[in-house]
A = this chain, B = another copy of it.
Amino acid sequence: MTFGEQPAYLRVAGDLRKKITDGSLPPHTRLPSQARIREEYGVSDTVALEARKVLMAEGLVEGRSGSGTYVRERPNPRSVARTGFRGPGTSTPFRQEQAAESARGTWESRSEQADAGAEVAERLAVRVGDRVMCTKYVFRDAGEVMMLSTSWEPLAVTGRTPVMLPEEGPLGGCGVVDRMAAIDVIVDNVAEEVGARPGLAEELLALGGVPGHVVLVVQRTYYASGRPVETADIVVPADRYRIAYHLPVR
């Protein structure tokens, strides 16, 4: 603390963090106990405790009462491709994980009619209380749940057509764009907003995560001639996936 620099607990946390990220403290190993940190860095109990708390808040380590503080496993997030843009001459070193993975995925779904709530109504540009078809998906990749999705479609668009139920009929499971095309609704653009937050208990239960884990949330809305025809909330665990976009410039 004689430092004019940063607080002592951040200095200690920073040093431990470096040892974790550079591999000298690999996953599942125990980091020095509070008492040892106190000795090694010549700091007080409080500083050692605060430093551990910082690393725990960052999700790098987890404390097990009575046992120790352990380095967490940090899987290398894979990419989930969100656009089909391919430039002329696809020589760009875009990683190969995208196409292969999504092909062998499986999913389940359940549809039911509902009334549009305030948020869904705004996203679909309908009135609150208008009838919508709500479909919940669970996506699996190699048997492991990787993605949750809840989709809403206004019945004003799909009602009394063969594609009213997303997963039934000849076009079941074919994707929004193709299904809409079948009823002459030409989807021409899509807006996606990517956010993140701590996962809800139920989400993390389904995704096989741990309370406190972070999830990415994509709010996606498909438009046909400026009119919203489908909107969805897509939830993926942030420690295992990233959302990838590939866009032309200009």
A residues near B (Cβ < 8 Å) are 10, 13-14, 17, 53-54, 57-59, 77, 79, 82-85, 87, 89, 91-94, 125, 177, 187-202, 211-212, 214-216, 219, 222-223, 225-226, 228, 238-239, 241-250
Contact = CB atoms under 8 A, between A and B. Distances in A.
A91 B214 contact: no
Contacts of A85: 189, 247
Given A58-B201, A201-B54, A247-B83, A216 B193 contact: no
A92 B239 CA distance: 33
Contact of A196 (B89, B214, B222): B214
B226 A92 contact: yes
The A interface, classified by DSSP as helix, strand, loop or mixed, is mixed
A5 to B, nearest CB: 12
A40 B10 CA distance: 32
A242 B234 CA distance: 14
A191 B226 contact: no
Contact of A249 (B10, B77, B190): B190
Contacts of A57: 57, 198, 201, 211-212
The 4 A-B residue pairs with the shortest CB-CB distance, nearest first, are: A196-B196, A57-B212, A57-B211, A91-B226
B194 A249 contact: no
Contacts of A199: 58
Contacts of A215: 196
Nearest to A215: B196
